[in-house]
Amino acid sequence: MATNADKLPGISVDVEDLVRIRGHLSGMSLSSVRRRASYRAGARDTRMRGRGMEYEESRAYVAGDDVRTMDWRVMARTGEAHTKIYAEEKERRFLLAIDLSPSMYFGTRNAFKSWAAAQTAAHVGWLASFAGDRIGGLIVSPEVHNEVRPGKTRSGLLAVFHHLADASNIDMPPENDTNRLNFLLRELQRVAKPGSIIALITDFIGLDRESLELLSALSRHNDINAFWIHDETETDSWPRGYYPVMINRQKLGIDLNKPREDDLLRRWQRQHRARIEALTTRFNMPLVPVCCNRDVTAQILHRLSLT
């Protein structure tokens, strides 16, 4: 792990910095994000998924009880009819799903997308903790993935912070042939119980048909909030010039002095943004864009309409 002297602003994630974010959010709630935060018009809260109830005990059947709540196992064991009693679920499972694919270790100024993702996770995580949610997380980086099971204390959130700090300290993210975004979504399918709230934090690079199928399945039983982490080079025009880039360990060049290459870049930007907006609309996922080139706290507060 990097020492304080080795930490680079906007690149290295510091747990103490993520903890301090709590002070900026006092009195705010995550429901404000779901009501207001959207990159499109007409966003609305998704309805509660699952039963919203937790099993408490079984008691002897009384005439008029709903037969759908019959406890058949107890009935088989005792020979007498019993019905299940449920208590209203006061806490919900909240999962921070953070995509740290190799494309996230990039930023042209101010910060890497990976650093902005950690900041976003801290903001959202603290808001969820204020609501009393049980917080867990999945962090998928180029080499490993970490799972934090939802807990009833803030230990789950702090564990996510520590994994994010560790993931920020790799020297050079290796290229990985597997689609890490889809790997994250498959892991979510495995661990997310119906009725969970999921904060999906990603740059959506690698979005494909499988991603849509996985998101479709997840959105049927869970509430998903999407946080699009991006660099302004993914949305804004580039100045004319020649740009050396490295893709799949190969050095390539983009010559924007040539109208054709400039047009190809603009087309990719439009298509990428349109695909993100289309899938979030399709699955009723509030979308919050977060640019790594600007202050993350200011952007989150703006989306909460509290600045």
pLDDT above 90 for 302: no
What pLDDT, on the 0 to 100 scale, is given for residue 199? 96
Q: pLDDT (tens digit, 9 = 90+) per residue, 210-238? A: 999 999 999 999 999 999 999 999 999 88
CATH class, 4-48+91-303 region: alpha beta
21-30, 100-109, 236-245, 274-283: segment of lowest average pLDDT: 21-30
What pLDDT, on the 0 to 100 scale, is given for residue 256? 86
Instruction: List CB contacts of 96: < 8 A, sequence separation 6 or more.
Output: 121, 124, 125, 135, 136, 137, 138, 139, 157, 160, 199, 201
- Regarding pTM above 0.85, the answer is no
Angle between helices 296-303 and 113-130 (to 10 degrees): 50
Q: List the Cα angle 123/124/127 in 5-degree steps.
A: 90
Helix (H, G, I), strand (E, B) or coil at 198: strand
Burial label for 6, CB within 10 Å (0-12, 13-18, 19+), is exposed
Ranges of each domain in the chain: 4-48+91-303, 53-88
Going from the C-alpha of 243 to that of each of 86, 167, 256, 265, the distances in angstroms are 61, 28, 8, 12
Strand pairing category for 145-151 and 134-140: antiparallel
Q: Over the chain, what is the mean pLDDT?
A: 83
What pLDDT, on the 0 to 100 scale, is given for residue 255? 84
Please report which confidence band the pLDDT of residue 69 belongs to, taking 50, 70 and 90 as the band edges: confident
Burial label for 222, CB within 10 Å (0-12, 13-18, 19+), is buried
Residue 124 or 76, more confident: 124
What pLDDT, on the 0 to 100 scale, is given for residue 154? 85
- Is there a contact between 139 and 146 (Cβ–Cβ < 8 Å)? yes
54-63, 90-99, 171-180: segment of lowest average pLDDT: 171-180
Residue 134 or 48, more confident: 134
